[in-house]
Amino acid sequence: HVQLVESGGGSVQAGASLRLSCAASGHTAPYCMGWFRQAPGKQREGVAAVDSDGATSVADAVKDRFTISQDNAKNTLYLQMNSLKPEDTAMYYCAAIESQLGGSWFCGGAVGMDYWGKGTQVTVST
């Protein structure tokens, strides 16, 4: 079992940067971990993910601005978000999956993820 706790969200103005962290505890060797976000009235979508081989997937909407990384020694997943835009406003969730059956592209998608954090809110104003 994996426990995930996100931090680092906040309210910022457009153009600012934030770094989200996801601290993992428990069985800390999942196949894939990722960041997903959900804005009010919208479906949860994949933002970025990284598998156990280090292969990453990043959404087109953020690929030039967001970077996913991990510190295995600290069991922590990060999402560096630069040049934030109002459309990035959402609840950001960290998630993990143990099986590799779904593949590494966004860890196979939100539906198949085994573990979720409670989320951290990111609000970007103009």
- Cβ proximity of 49 and 107 under 8 Å: yes
Q: Please give the mean pLDDT across all residues of the chain.
A: 94
Of residues 12 and 109, more confidence is placed in 12
Max distance between CA atoms of the chain, in angstroms, equals 41
Q: How far apart are the C-alpha atoms of 47 and 81, rounded to whole Å? A: 11
Please give the pLDDT value at position 103. 85
- Cβ proximity of 62 and 88 under 8 Å: yes
For 38-83, the pLDDT digits (tens) are 999 999 999 999 999 999 999 999 999 999 999 988 899 999 999 9
